[in-house]
Amino acid sequence: MAGEHLLEEVGRFDGDAEILQAWRDGMAPEPALLVSEWADKHRVLGSRGSAEPGPWRTVRTPYLREIMDALSPAQAARRVVFMKGAQVGGTECGNNWIGYVIHHAPGPMLAVQPTTELAKRFSDQRIDPLVEETPAIRERVAPARSRDSGNRQLSKEFPGGQLVMTGANSAVGLRSMSARFLFLDEIDAYPGDVEGEGDPIALVEARPHLRLATEGVPRQHTDHRRPVADRA
């Protein structure tokens, strides 16, 4: 293999086996596992954040399967939009994707809530339970109480990537990182302009490769934002 040939050329040294293994891991293709399959296999819902605690079962919300699977690396989609009613599982769909990225397809990810305050609440009420109650995630994100753990309220580090959470009302937060994955939640509640710098979605959309946006069903006479289809 190329790794062994390179070591033969430069010579053996302490730690060369670990470096070679890290190189192999980095070259390995992402596993052919769909997001819904990952959720059924690994996701655990706790009583802290779910009315039905226990293993996640996509059969309980079958309409989410196609949406989740479109977010899988093997799929051709680069932008997934979910226009929905209230409390139908849109955010949990995104949380399953977050768990999938942390465990199976690591990379930098940005999750945007309407405001920074809601991003903090999202972290405390959704992401912390996801980490604590799903063993596959817990083993990859150090406990917040650990020194230099990389586990902070708006930032969760894991091998191969990082999840950053911010609000659509923070221009600095939206520009804070270049992300491979972008989760825009409840975009109908985003401000039309963020700190004089324009549309918050436009500030981040050009960067990531794969995006999920959830939006409430427009309300006649009260929702004046442009349709999400106009944001291509």
pLDDT tens for each residue of the chain, 232 residues long: 555 665 566 666 677 778 777 777 766 665 679 999 999 999 999 877 677 889 999 999 999 999 999 999 888 888 898 888 888 888 899 999 999 999 999 999 999 999 999 999 999 999 999 999 999 999 999 887 656 567 899 999 999 999 999 999 999 899 878 888 999 999 999 999 999 989 999 888 766 567 777 776 543 333 333 333 322 2
Name residue, tokens 């903090």.
120
Cβ atoms 194, 174 nearer than 8 A: yes
Q: For the chain, what's the residue count?
A: 232
pLDDT at 21: 76
Architecture (CATH level 2) of domain 32-231 = 3-Layer(aba) Sandwich (3.40)
Cβ atoms 12, 6 nearer than 8 A: no
Cβ atoms 89, 143 nearer than 8 A: no
pLDDT at 226: 35
Q: Which residues contact 118 (CB under 8 A, 6 or more apart)?
A: 167
CB atoms within 10 A of CB 61: 16
Name residue, tokens 């442009």.
226
Cβ atoms 183, 119 nearer than 8 A: no
Return the amino acid letter for 123. Answer: S
pLDDT at 62: 95
C-alpha angle 84-87-88 in degrees, rounded to nearest 5: 55
**C-alpha to C-alpha distance for 168 and 1, rounded to whole angstroms:** 47
pLDDT at 220: 35
Backbone angles phi, psi at 50, to 5 degrees: -145, 145
Reported in sequence order, the residue ranges of the chain that DSSP labels E, i.e. its strands, are 44-45, 54-55, 79-84, 108-113, 151-152, 155-158, 161-167, 181-184, 210-216
pLDDT at 75: 85
Q: What is the pTM assigned to this prediction?
A: 0.77
